[in-house]
Amino acid sequence: MIDFQSVIEDIHKDIKHDVNRGLVASYIPELSNIDPQQFGIHVKHINGNSYATGDWNVPFSIQSISKALSLALVLPIYKDAIWERMDVEPSGNPFNHLSLLELENGIPRNPFINAGAIVVADMMVSHFKNPKQVFLDYVRDLANDKTIDFNYTVAKSERLTGFGNYAAANLLKAYNNLENDVDEVLDLYFHQCSIEMTCEQLSNAFFMFANHGKCLQQKERLTSSQAKRINAIMLTCGFYDEAGEFAFEVGLPGKSGVGGGIIALLPNHFTITTWSPGLNERGNSLLGMKALEQFTTKTKLSIF
């Protein structure tokens, strides 16, 4: 049996003082105030054991990591009809790129670029009376933790500066791929991104993806086929235009966010969350990528 606690402690010790930590995201003004020295790792094993080190218990802005959870919420409802409104191909472009959306007639490349996640948010607005609360409750249930909440200041900060997301939503609307009002859909999108969670809460919330669709409480949230499909999208599209590099270096499905979090998982084995706010030039946490590369190399646990 691998000693996960020593593995993550060794990794943490090895890289926690790295001078090159990347840059904290500043395009959402409220995110730029984060202390870049923070660094945490949390592993949830499929047998229920947890291993943690560093700042694993500090809540941070999950941002784009929320896109995997919103997709998981709508997939059992809309099923294959989802794929009439978006594709499952990597974009090879940054998360907020718009040119492909226009070239491809308002069909986003995948659910994890902003345009795709905005269509998923539109589905939630169409289906639920109070989609913000439903999404928050869903995340709380998955993580088995009622303390999880939106950060309203971050959501507002993003609304005030989210011109690119307004452009994407308007383009989707022009191509008839948005059923609801642009402001209503973006209000949900900005709030889902603003949710704050710790590494532990994220490892717990993503447990279902490592457990054939059954969450921590062993309740079926996704069929095993739906979990497989979202894992496939995480592997191919989960890291902006660096998904190839992440598969090459780390070899796990996962999802990153500009808050500096990365969640990755190995089906039947574990979920692992890293958090360090400094990002590389492609928007992924620099220490997080390094830690995960070391983790799969040391444990020899990856999908490849």
Site for ligand GLU in 146-175 (CB under 6 A): 158, 165
251 or 260: CB nearest ligand GLU: 260
- Report in angstroms how near the CB of residue 237 gets to ligand GLU at its nearest: 12
Asked if 234 touches ligand GLU (CB under 6 A), the answer is no
Q: How far is CA 35 from the centre of its chain?
A: 21
The DSSP 8-state label assigned to residue 258 in this structure reads: T
- Report in angstroms how near the CB of residue 261 gets to ligand GLU at its nearest: 9
- Report in angstroms how near the CB of residue 255 gets to ligand GLU at its nearest: 9
Q: How many residues bind ligand GLU (CB under 6 A)?
A: 10
Give the active site residue among 16, 154, 189, 276. 189
Asked if 226 touches ligand GLU (CB under 6 A), the answer is no
132 or 228: CB nearest ligand GLU: 132
- Report in angstroms how near the CB of residue 154 gets to ligand GLU at its nearest: 9
Q: Is 189 a catalytic residue?
A: yes
96 or 223: CB nearest ligand GLU: 96
- E strand intervals along the chain: 23-24, 40-45, 50-54, 60-61, 196-197, 254-256, 261-266, 270-275, 278-279
Q: Is 152 a catalytic residue?
A: no
169 or 250: CB nearest ligand GLU: 169
Q: What are phi and psi of 60, to 5 degrees?
A: -140, 170
Written as six digits, the tokens of 78 are 């809309």
Contact between residue 188 and residue 121 where contact means Cβ atoms under 8 Å apart? yes
Distance CA 189, CA 122 (A): 9
3-state SS, one letter per residue, for 93-116: CCCCCCHHHHHCCCCCCCCCCHHH
12 or 67: CB nearest ligand GLU: 67
Q: Helix, strand or coil for residue 218?
A: coil
51 or 189: CB nearest ligand GLU: 189
- Report in angstroms how near the CB of residue 150 gets to ligand GLU at its nearest: 12
Asked if 257 touches ligand GLU (CB under 6 A), the answer is yes
Beta-bridge partners for 275: 40, 261
Asked if 193 touches ligand GLU (CB under 6 A), the answer is yes
User: Mind giving me the DSSP string for 11-43?
Assistant: HHHHHTT-S---EE--SSGGGGGS-TT--EEEE
Give the CA diameter of the chain: 55
Cα-atom radius of gyration of the chain, to the nearest Å? 18
Among 38, 53, 64, 177, binds ligand GLU (CB under 6 A): 64
Give the active site residue among 16, 44, 67, 173. 67
Distance CA 26, CA 60 (A): 15
Asked if 114 touches ligand GLU (CB under 6 A), the answer is yes
Q: Is 240 a catalytic residue?
A: yes
Q: Is 64 a catalytic residue?
A: yes
- Report in angstroms how near the CB of residue 256 gets to ligand GLU at its nearest: 7
Please list the active-site residues.
64, 67, 189, 240, 258
Binding residues for ligand GLU, rule: CB under 6 A, are 63-64, 95-96, 114, 158, 165, 193, 257-258
